Amino acid sequence: MEQRFFLLENTSRGRNASTGLTFHNLFCMSFSMERPFRFLGRISKDFHPLKRYFIRNRWSLALGFVCLLLVDFLQLLIPQVIKRAVDLLTVRAGTQELLLKHGLAILAIASLIALFRYVWRHLILGHARVVEKGLRRDLYEHLQKLSFSFYQRTKSGDIMAMAVNDLNAIRMAAGMGIVALTDGIVLGTAAIGFMMSISTRLTLISLIPAPVIILFSWTLTRRMSSGFERVQDTFSHLTEQVREAFAGIRVIKTYGREEWEKDRVEKEGRKYIRENMDLARTLALFFPMMAIFTNLGIAVVIWLGGRLTILGDISTGDFVAFISYLNLLTWPMMAMGWVTNLIQRGSASMRRINRILDETPEIQDPAQPIEDGEIKGEIRVRGLDFTYPGHEHNTLKDISLRIAPGETVALIGRVGTGKTTLLHLIPRLIDPPEQTLFVDGMDIRRIPLKRLRENIGFVSQEIIIFSDTVRNNVLFGREDVSDDTLERALVTAGIQDDIEALEQGLDTRLGERGVTLSGGQRQRLTIARALIQDPPILILDDALSMVDTLTEERILNNIYELRRNRTTLIVSHRTSTISMADRIIVMDGGRIAEQGTHGDLIKREGMYARIYQRHFIERELEKEFT
Amino acid sequence: MFGEYGYIEKGRLGKPYDIKLLKRLALYALAYKTRILVALVLAVVVTLLDLAAPYLSKIAIDRYILASWYRVDLDGQGEKALEFTRQYGHLVEKNRENDLAVISSLDIKEIDPAQLHMYRSLGIITTERFYRSMEENPEVTALLETGLPFYEMRDRGILIPYSAIDSMDREDLLKLRARDIHGVFMIGSLFLVLILLSFGISYVEYYTLEYAGQHIMQDIRLELFSRIEHQAIRFFDRHPIGRLVTRVTNDVENLNEMFKSVFVTLLKDFFLLTGILAVLLYLNWRLALVSFLILPFIFGLAFLFSKLARQAFRELRATVARINAFLQERLSGMSAIQLFATEKFQMDAFDRINHKNYLAGMKQIKVFSLFMPLMELLSSLAVALLIWYGGGRVIEEQLSLGALVAFISYIQMFFKPIRDISEKYNIMQAAMASTERIFEFIDHKEIIPEPESPKAPDDVKGELSFQGVSFSYQEGVPVLEDISFDVNPGEMIAVVGATGSGKTTLVNLVERLYDPDKGRVLLDSVDLRQWPKNRLRSHMGFCMQDVFLFSGSLSENITLGRPGIGQKEVVRAAQKVNALSFVEKLPEKLEYEIGERGSTLSGGQRQLLSFARALAADPKILILDEATSSVDPETERLIKRAISEMTAQRTTLVVAHRLSTIRNADRILVMHKGRIVEQGSHETLMSLEGVYYRLNRIREAEE
């Protein structure tokens, strides 16, 4: 009874898990002679990161196992008591008093079972939760060390799936997997032993279906999980189709194409149905399968056991007990098939997680760091070529540049010309080749990471705001920041008034279940975050794109004012805000195309002048009406 | 269970059932009523088959294994014997010599227990047991000749005392009891047939229901999708896409879960429970009633459990959602975490929510650790009760041993459905919440209405006019105020203004994505609200700044499945807007499949594609939102040429960002804060010496 529930629990979770192993593979794996060992070897390697949790929990695990074994043993006693009672009744030797004793014996055994079961569930399944929690922590801790490039090639959805779904699979393997394995072996063997003691022949014959059942349950659970995977796949296609329809609703409406889109969704829906029906063919087999093993055995017991009872070879009580044992055996049989899948699935999940845990951070602290001196903010780039790994073309070509301490430099250029890449190199979000990028004359690859980054304030294009209070989002874990510093940063970023307008001010929660700020407000908040430490180098990568031109100008003026003698690098698409910089660098195709002051560049009538003209109308109109 | 589409549903779970909603759902099921009915009938059959198993073993034990007859001694018992004969004489059989009377152990329970006790103690019914053999069997006859004590009955049956049988050798026993051995063999075979039948029927039943369920879901999904799709754009402004997608996919999926668990499992469980109760009452109503004593405890425990489990489950789900939300934010914001070196702070925060998840998990384990063993304990309690009380009834001959064994099996069967029901409660609750949300959207009607008496000229010239149009998205925040202008057929009008001046809204109104609050928009002197929507749209072409591409081929993206746009039209349109030049370079040309979200095409190529899309139906009116983003000079040139090609001889409304485009326009509207501040041709505006004049002067000065 209890057992079946776990199977169900597992199958519903199975939807999320994937194994990546084909049926054929597995078939070969367990049925050739030497492979099981290699298979076990691989599994123990996969699960290696869990070792320390197993060692840490060894005592409670041991106790849990003792209880589990006791439960298994006690479970097998109940049919024995029933047998005795039935035998007493058969030979008419039963008295009410004797029967009461038997009833009480059952009750006593059952109470012990309940007690021990409570204990093992608590200890073993609790251990699995500890493993899950610990591994999740390890995973996140490691993730925090991984570099920018890792996040560019890895979908965050995949990692999230690991932190939840894969960990589920691992928890199942580390908890129920172990229980099922133990039960399968211990309860199975012991039940068969008890049955043998009644009648060897009957036992052997009634167990004929057993291997078939194990094989079936194992094949079916495999087919189920691959079926679930395909269902999940078509489900995400369907989801994507629906998403696309709603994202493109404007186009659909303006061309009146609602029916067309509905047909497309219907088509994906039909594919989804097809996969579901395919899966249903397996599931429809699976559930009746669970009953058929016991029932086939019972048929044999009625056939043959009935005969043996009639002939007096076994007692009526034996006959009844035999049926009970067969019922008890259903679970270990199913468990044997199930547990392999459970462990394989857990093992596949472990491999996915191990791939991340084994990933070494690309950006490392220097082996021989330069520690001394205060950073003033001189940036020098020398003959820098940069190519993203796996890309054919250089993103940056032969860049040489010197930015004096205290200088304000603006970068402008089309999308994809390397501005952001250049900026990302400075705080080592990505690594430049050695001896190409220097801060205050030191190769940045030799400055300790923490020190380098503490000296750079970086505001990226993407607005990164967490679901937390405004204060935490600005302080970002930094302690000892005085209220004055905080306020000055907020005022400079032009967000102070907006925050004061919020009901709980700085303690207002943002994001999910909290207040939603506008894009511009969020951008200004991230600027305030960078201003807090008043870094020698400030980098604003298109950080005010969602703020209107006037506000942008005001904020930039504040920043220029505040940072008169500190290095500032700005990327913007608005020529009006860029024109105030000490120097403008125009980038094109990974190179520096032009540089100079606004006046110089307009005179040159090159690229900058053209960009400037394109923004002319909007800019002038905005000015015109204010 | 299924990956939520980046959107986690908030709000509390409601009640597990709501008749009104269920009724509405039933309407969708009606289309598949035959299948559902068949499945339900099959479910009943399967239940009956399941119920048969313990009963068959009862028959095997009582009729074949333990079949026995008791001697009835009526001599010298006087009045009581007469009373016995009067009441139960029909149960008694006699032998030919008339010196032996016996009664079958199966018939003995017909006798009232108190009387039976008395008859037993008086020795009317003795404890001497006989085995009854087949009437005519040469092998048995041969056995009898060996000197076995026996009695021949009136119907030629042979009675042999058990005392004699117990000392028989195996060979003889086999011969004597051949009938019983054959009997258990037949029962075993019948059982096998029933198992296979049950297996086959379960399969068909499951498959049929799945089929019905999947199709009902598809119907609901499509209806819901279609309803949402037909809502006005305002509706989409308010609802994030993630929520809409969740509605159509995950919420409908929840319904499927409910369909399966309610109509299938619950109904089956209900059949099974009723079946078990009925069989138990039939077997022995007294014992049945005694064992029902345990029912309130079972239900109570199940109810308590479902409540606790629900709480634990909800808590667990909430913490998982928090982990998800946390990770989603931190993973996409990892660069900020590293740049600001705030790893430790974040790690602490993660530890906190990870620990909460652990605690919630432990709470769930606690609930299950209590419930599962307790439920098993109750089941064992029931068995103990049966052994004690039921065994007592067996001693009193009130109950056959086989019936007791069957009783034990049935009671154990009884527990599964009850736990099922308490588990299903969660699914039901989630599904009801989903149903409610689904119907809320199906019932929501925020559509741009079709005209009641549609009016549309046969021949469209393409004259567009705004008459005193005011509009606001939010009440009290006007976006357009009293806008009036005319565009003559074939004319090109450029709209100029700063961000937020209302240019885009103007376009939205022409497309009739919104209806004006005040005033009218007219096409060929007919109010847009009177045009049949599809006719209206077939006359217009749109090119927006951010081009939306659908998954599928390039040509599909141009036709959008519009009737009357074939391969020829696609090629012509693509050629006209200079899109063919890049299309020809692609491996599959127009059949080229666009990657996810059109990522494989450049911005300029996407622009050209949207031009082709707009031009394919040869519209009378063209709405163009000029792109501000930069593209390479070559594509820039292609786009410019395409625009001048497209706008020739079409009424064109262009939201312009380039002075060159503006100068080509027949007329210019200068907008500011929802009003037209200047309008007229280039020359008119120049002579006005207003905003437009100053724009041009600054420009000239810079050049």
Q: What is the pLDDT of residues B383-425, one digit of tens each?
A: 898 888 888 888 877 788 888 888 888 888 887 777 666 667 6
Q: Can you tell me the mean pLDDT for A453-468?
A: 85
Range from B270-279, B320-329, B426-435, B470-479 that averages highest in pLDDT: B270-279
* A456–B366 C-beta distance less than 8 A: no
Read off φ and ψ for residue A493, nearest 5 degrees.
-80, 0
Q: Can you tell me the mean pLDDT for B348-352?
A: 93
**Nearest-angstrom CA–CA distance, A374 and A396:** 29
Q: For residues B127 and B70, is the Cβ–Cβ distance under 8 A? A: yes
Q: How far from B67 is each of A309, A458, A547, B321, CA to CA, in Å?
A: 12, 92, 95, 64
Inform me whether the pLDDT recorded for A399 exceeds 50: yes
How close A248 comes to chain B (CA, Å)? 6
**Nearest-angstrom CA–CA distance, A419 and A396:** 9
> In the numeric block, which tokens belong to residue A454?
């503490």
Give A538's pLDDT tier (boundaries 50, 70, 90).
very high
Name which of A232, A265, A280, A228 is nearest B248 in CA terms.
A265
Q: For residues B290 and B389, is the Cβ–Cβ distance under 8 A? A: yes
DSSP symbol at A315: -
Burial class (CB in 10 A: 0-12, 13-18, 19+), A9: middle
Which of A118, A327, A616 lies at the smallest CB-CB distance from B373?
A118
**Nearest-angstrom CA–CA distance, A598 and A413:** 14
Q: What are A333-346's pLDDT values in tens digits?
A: 777 767 777 787 78
Which of A107, A242, A512 lies at the smallest CB-CB distance from B225?
A242
Taking all residues of chain B, what is their mean pLDDT, rounded to a whole number?
81
Name which of B454, B255, B340, B395 is nearest A535 in CA terms.
B340
Burial class (CB in 10 A: 0-12, 13-18, 19+), A145: middle
Inform me whether the pLDDT recorded for B271 exceeds 90: no
**Nearest-angstrom CA–CA distance, A210 and B449:** 66
Read off φ and ψ for residue B249, nearest 5 degrees.
-100, -70
Give A62's pLDDT tier (boundaries 50, 70, 90).
very high
Taking contacts as CB-CB distances below 8 angstroms, the residues of chain B near A163 are 323-324, 327
**Nearest-angstrom CA–CA distance, B192 and B655:** 79
> In the numeric block, which tokens belong to residue B232?
């006005």
> In the numeric block, which tokens belong to residue A527?
């600027």
| Mutation for testing the A interface, residue in B272, B327, B359 having most A CBs under 10 Å | B327
User: Tell me, what's the pLDDT at B6?
Assistant: 38
* B185–A303 C-beta distance less than 8 A: yes
Count helices and strands (H / E) in chain A.
29, 10
Inform me whether the pLDDT recorded for A20 exceeds 70: no
Inform me whether the pLDDT recorded for A391 exceeds 60: yes
Inform me whether the pLDDT recorded for A274 exceeds 90: yes
Mapping DSSP to helix (H, G, I), strand (E, B) and coil, where does residue A139 land?
helix
Q: Who's near A273: CB < 8 A, 6+ residues apart?
A: B214, B215, B218
- In DSSP terms, B327 is beta-bridged to none
* B672–A16 C-beta distance less than 8 A: no
* A78–B383 C-beta distance less than 8 A: yes
Q: How far from B30 is each of A551, B23, B434, CA to CA, in Å?
A: 61, 11, 20
User: Tell me, what's the pLDDT at A118?
Assistant: 92
Which of A129, A427, A548 lies at the smallest CB-CB distance from B365?
A129
Which of B361, B423, B699 lies at the smallest CB-CB distance from A616?
B699
Inform me whether the pLDDT recorded for A6 exceeds 60: no
| Strands of the A396-403 sheet, one edge to the other | A396-403, A379-386, A437-439, A442-443
What is the separation of C-alpha A113 from the centre of its chain, rounded to a whole number of angstroms?
A: 38
Q: What are A104-121's pLDDT values in tens digits?
A: 999 999 999 999 999 998
Inform me whether the pLDDT recorded for A618 exceeds 70: no
Residue at B447: amino acid letter: I
**Nearest-angstrom CA–CA distance, B462 and B458:** 12
Instruction: Spell out a b/e string for B452-479, using b for 16 or more CB atoms within 10 Å of the CB, else e.
Output: eeeeeeeebebbbbbbebebbeeeeebb
Percent of chain A with pLDDT over 70: 89
Taking all residues of chain A, what is their mean pLDDT, rounded to a whole number?
81
Q: For residues A486 and A505, is the Cβ–Cβ distance under 8 A? A: no
Percent of chain A with pLDDT over 90: 15
Q: What are B84-114's pLDDT values in tens digits?
A: 778 877 778 777 777 778 888 777 777 777 7
A421-425, B62-66, B156-160: segment of lowest average pLDDT = B156-160
* A12–B695 C-beta distance less than 8 A: no
Q: For residues A421 and A381, is the Cβ–Cβ distance under 8 A? A: no
Angle at B535 between CA B534 and CA B537, to 5 degrees: 65
Q: For residues A327 and B208, is the Cβ–Cβ distance under 8 A? A: no
Inform me whether the pLDDT recorded for B238 exceeds 80: no
Q: Who's near B614: CB < 8 A, 6+ residues apart?
A: B541, B542, B543, B622, B646
What is the separation of C-alpha B228 from the centre of its chain, rounded to a whole number of angstroms?
A: 19
Name which of A425, A301, A328, A282 is nearest A74 in CA terms.
A328
User: What stretches of B444-532 show up as alpha helix (H) in DSSP?
Assistant: 503-510
Read off φ and ψ for residue A107, nearest 5 degrees.
-65, -40
Q: How far from A566 is each of A378, A409, A451, A598, CA to CA, in Å?
A: 9, 11, 17, 20
Instruction: Spell out a b/e string for B343-378, using b for 16 or more CB atoms within 10 Å of the CB, else e.
Output: bebbbebbeebbebbbebbbbbbbbbbbbbbbbbbb
Which of A163, A464, A616 lies at the smallest CB-CB distance from B323?
A163
Inform me whether the pLDDT recorded for A374 exceeds 50: yes
A614 touches chain B (CB under 8 A): yes
> In the numeric block, which tokens belong to residue A345?
């699935």
> In the numeric block, which tokens belong to residue A301?
């017991």
**Nearest-angstrom CA–CA distance, A371 and A60:** 48
User: Tell me, what's the pLDDT at A217?
Assistant: 75
First CA to last CA across chain B, in angstroms? 63
Q: What are B496-521's pLDDT values in tens digits?
A: 877 667 888 888 888 888 888 888 88
**Nearest-angstrom CA–CA distance, B76 and B378:** 51
Instruction: Spell out a b/e string for B599-626, using b for 16 or more CB atoms within 10 Å of the CB, else e.
Output: eebebbbbbbbbbbbbbbbbbbbbbbbb
**Nearest-angstrom CA–CA distance, B271 and B286:** 22
**Nearest-angstrom CA–CA distance, B363 and B374:** 17
* A159–B560 C-beta distance less than 8 A: no
How close B88 comes to chain A (CA, Å)? 23
* B358–A511 C-beta distance less than 8 A: no
**Nearest-angstrom CA–CA distance, B460 and A468:** 57
Taking contacts as CB-CB distances below 8 angstroms, the residues of chain A near B10 are 513
Name which of B648, B323, B512 is nearest A166 in CA terms.
B323
Taking contacts as CB-CB distances below 8 angstroms, the residues of chain B near A144 are 330, 334, 337-338, 343, 346-347
Spell out the long-range contacts of B508-513 with Cβ–Cβ below 8 A and sequence spacing 24 or more. B508/B233, B509/B466, B509/B469, B509/B471, B509/B480, B510/B464, B510/B540, B510/B621, B510/B623, B510/B653, B511/A253, B511/A254, B511/B537, B511/B540, B511/B542, B511/B623, B512/B448, B512/B536, B513/A250, B513/A253, B513/A254, B513/B232, B513/B233, B513/B448
Name which of B39, B54, B55 is nearest B201 in CA terms.
B39
Give B530's pLDDT tier (boundaries 50, 70, 90).
confident
- Report the chain A residue with the minimal C-alpha distance to residue B246: A239
Taking contacts as CB-CB distances below 8 angstroms, the residues of chain A near B511 are 253-254
Checking ipTM against 0.85, whether it exceeds it is: no
CB-CB neighbours of A294 under 10 Å: 22
Taking contacts as CB-CB distances below 8 angstroms, the residues of chain A near B324 are 160, 163-164
* A109–B387 C-beta distance less than 8 A: no
Q: Can you tell me the mean pLDDT for B136-148?
A: 73
Q: What is the CA radius of gyration of chain A?
A: 35
The predicted model scores a pTM of 0.74
How many CA atoms are closer than 13 Å to the CA of B96, on its beta-carbon side? 10
